[in-house]
Amino acid sequence: MSRLPDDLETLAGEYALGTLEGAELHRAMQLEAKDLRFREAVISWRLRLAPLDDTAAPITPTRSLWVRIEAGLGVSRQKPVAARPSRLAQLWDSLNFWRPLGLAGGMAGLVLAAVLAVTVARGPVAPLYVAVLNTSDGRAAAVVNVYSNGQVTLIPLEDISVPQGRIIEVWTLQNREQGPVSIGRIDRARTLKLDLKNLGKPEANHLFELTLEPPGGSPTGKPTGPILMKGLAARSI
Amino acid sequence: MTGLERYGSIENAIRAVASGDRQALRAIYDAEGARLNGIAFRMLRSRAAAEDVVQDTFLKLWEAAGRFDGRTGYGRAWLTTLLRNRTLNVLRSEARTELVDDFEPLGLETGSESAEERMTRLSDEHALKRCLEGLDAARRKLIVLAFTEGLSHGEIAAKLGAPLGTVKSWLRRSLLSLRECMG
């Protein structure tokens, strides 16, 4: 196979190295998904760099780790191979889903492709921006879609346990000067239309976040409770 | 015969996992679990977080084994990539986008071990060692720290107090030298 141009070769190297963020990361993920030569270059870089991983001292996991893994097998795949993946499993399945959802601009190519597939199935209008909200342990727990007409929907991908006497408040952070702004409250996980009036137009990298708050919402007007999930908006493709 | 030997190679074991063989998953865990846990710990600096990442990686392997292309010699690196990507995700999306007043990068101290110490543990038989030694010390450190600690371009720049563009161009030139050297 012929050589890649230097810029693509180094992009593949940086991707394997793990240093990319934002638009560059997004580009690398897209190329990995659709360009065989680029994918091969990435694999070559992973193999070149692999000996460096082996300089980490091995640490025998605690005994309970395998028990935890085994307990997860039943729920993560009912029937091997033949099982049709759930919406969440499809997201999960994409290697790119593992890539950072933070800091980046128009990142997460295949994540967005997967999310878009979900969204497109729901209606003919594709959102302008999509944010995948992750829980603290990295599960995709909700998707926020921002449409060109300004409409915003929050679609939970799993149930959220809300303690007695608490509600879920939805926040967005458009800029640091203004700080987080409440855009809605719900009592449990359900699809929700959000109100962005009085706010700027949504853009990539705006943060969406869900916290637990007292009934009636945060007493301070800023998030006070634990963060349930959060994620950054990215332009859909 | 125990563990991975039963399957002949990790690539075969991954294929067995794809067909739903839990024994194969266990065999890979026994052979690779401690190594992966060590890699994750070095990047995350937390035993609990490292084990969580290893757990996620094996659940991911269980689900995604069918996507492995089966090529000889890539199984271990492919599995490590699942772990590394998950770890980078934890490092970037969670810790570093906390909605708190402080959006600064997390502490970037190098930890107890220097890049050169890590270099010395690279086996002499690897071309990577020889080729990294061909770079000047500062560039070598850049590559080693970026990879072993999961630093982004921006974090490296902050750590070195160097402009982002400079860091990127150093890394890119170093990668091209490495590629020339390693083929």
Is residue B14 within a helix (H) or strand (E), and if so which, with residue range? helix B10-18
Give the closest-approach CA distance of B24 to chain A in angstroms: 12
- Residues of chain B contacting residue A59, judged by C-beta atoms under 8 Å apart: 34, 37-38, 41, 47, 50
Token pair, residue A22, equals: 């934002």
* Pairwise CB contact (< 8 Å): B144 & A73: no
Q: Which pLDDT belongs to residue A81?
A: 42
The band of B2, judged by pLDDT with boundaries at 50, 70 and 90, is low
Same fold across B3-97 and B115-182: no
- Does the distance separating the beta carbons of B154 and A21 come in below 8 Å? yes
Neighboring chain A residues of B93 at a CB cutoff of 8 Å: 100-103, 134, 138, 231
Q: How far is A7 from chain B (nearest CA, A)?
A: 8
Residue B154 near chain A (CB below 8 Å): yes
pLDDT for the residue B105: 34
Q: What is the pLDDT of residues B141-162, one digit of tens each?
A: 899 999 999 999 888 888 888 8
CA distance B35 to chain A (A): 4
| Alpha-carbon gap: A133 to the closest alpha carbon of chain B (Å) | 10
Domain coordinates in residue numbering, chain A: 6-53, 125-235
The domains of chain B are located at 3-97, 115-182
Model pLDDT, residue B60: 95
Rounded Cα distance, B24 and B61, in Å:
11
Total beta-carbon pairs less than 8 A apart between chain A and chain B:
213
B180 φ, ψ to 5°?
A: -60, -40
Q: Which residues of A touch B92 (CB under 8 A)?
A: 21, 100-103
Say what the pLDDT of residue A24 is: 93
The predicted model gives B104-133 an average pLDDT of 74
More confident residue, A127 or B90: B90
Which CATH number is B3-97's, of 1.10.10.10, 3.40.50.720, 1.10.1740.10, 3.40.640.10?
1.10.1740.10
* pLDDT at position B11: 96
Residue spans of alpha helices (H) in B19-97: 22-44, 47-64, 75-89
- For chain B positions 63-122, those within 8 Å of chain A (CB to CB) are 63-64, 66-67, 73-74, 76-78, 80-82, 84-86, 88-94, 96-99, 103, 118-119, 121-122
Residues whose CB falls within 8 Å of the CB of residue A122, separated by 6 or more in sequence, listed in order: none
Nearest chain B Cα distance for residue A168, angstroms: 16
Q: What percent of chain B has pLDDT over 90?
A: 63
The answer to whether the Cβ–Cβ distance between B93 and A65 falls below 8 Å is no
Q: What is the pLDDT along chain A (237 residues), one digit of tens a residue?
A: 568 999 999 999 999 999 998 899 999 999 999 999 999 999 999 999 999 999 999 999 999 999 999 998 875 544 444 334 444 444 444 444 444 444 333 333 444 444 444 444 444 567 788 888 888 777 888 888 887 766 778 888 877 777 777 888 888 888 777 778 888 888 777 777 776 766 777 777 788 888 888 877 887 778 877 788 888 888 876
- Read off the DSSP letter of residue A216: T
Q: Which residues contact A188 (CB under 8 A, 6 or more apart)?
A: A159, A160, A162, A168
Handedness of CA B57, B58, B63, B67 (dihedral sign): positive
Instruction: Give pLDDT, residue A74.
Output: 72
Q: Is the pLDDT of residue B75 over 50?
A: yes
Which CATH number applies to A125-235?
2.60.40
Q: Which CATH class is domain B115-182?
A: mainly alpha
So what's the pLDDT on residue A52?
96
Name which of A68, A95, A231 is nearest B85 (Cβ-Cβ): A95
Q: Residues A229, B119: contact at Cβ < 8 Å?
A: no
Q: What is the pLDDT of residues B3-22, one digit of tens each?
A: 899 999 999 999 999 999 99
Tell which residue, A49, A69, A19, A94, has the closest CA to residue B88. A19
Angle at which helix A64-76 crosses helix B47-64, to 10 degrees, equals 40
Top residue of B14, B63, B113, B155 to mutate, by most chain A CBs within 10 Å, is B63
**Model confidence at B24: pLDDT above 80:** yes
In the prediction, which pLDDT does A54 show?
94
Q: DSSP string spanning A166-181?
A: -EEEEEEES-TTT--E
- What are the backbone dihedrals phi and psi of residue B177, each rounded to the nearest 5 degrees, phi first? -65, -45
pLDDT of residue B71: 86
CA atoms within 13 A on the CB side of A126: 10
State ipTM.
0.90
